Structure 1
């Protein structure tokens, strides 16, 4: 019997964000928004969900008078992504 894919990571936008964060130390909100073609509102909601799950850290600060939001993947997030990929491989090997 196949394991269930992690529903938190199975969302297209959340998976895209996590995939980007796997390959960089950190990414700011503007970069993530550009890379995913997401609206600011939707991206913000999805980042909150990933943060609440402990998969990413979100750091908000100001550069001059402009707000800056930076995201980093946590070790919990890396483990969740590795498990997600393994389960996905199980699905694909069953074809």
Structure 2
């Protein structure tokens, strides 16, 4: 059993967890600045991790305007929801499995 390396990175796990928990509807999206504030990340760090998640098809990023001000929104894509659910199930299975001591192999 291997955990998804795209999600497993601590910052990306926090991003996906926050999106999954605050955006129950797949059509929902979160403003980049709100995501940045809630995760306490720099814009550059958040952008780097979002790019990796977007490349994997796990998040969708859209750009638009509110009035004349540019706004970036982030949504958890269906593939991201599935990957996160699978990751969570695999992690829980690993945590509930009987532990093995070195001599028990």
Question: TM-score, structure 1 length as denominator?
Answer: 0.90
1:77 to 58, 75, 80: 80
Residues 8-27 of structure 1: pairs in structure 2 closer than 5 A: 8-22=6-20, 23-24=22-23, 25-27=28-30
Q: How far 1:46 sits from its partner (Å)? A: 0.6
* Cα offset, 1:18, TM superposition: 0.8
| Large movers: runs of 4+ above 6 Å | none
Q: Which has the larger radius of gyration?
A: 2
CA deviation vs aligned residue, 1:3-53 (integer Å, no higher than 9, x gap): 111111011111111111112121111011011111100100111111111
Match of 1:55 in 2: 58
Q: Shift of residue 65 of structure 1?
A: 3.3
Give the distance between the partners of 2:14 and 2:61, measured in 1 at CA: 16
1:43 aligns with 2:62: no
Uncovered stretches (5+) of structure 2, i.e. residues with no partner? 100-105
**TM-score (norm: length of structure 2):** 0.82
In 1, the alpha carbon distance for the partners of 2:70 and 2:5 equals 31
**1:45-65: CA deviation from partner (whole Å, max 9, x where unpaired):** 111111111111100112233
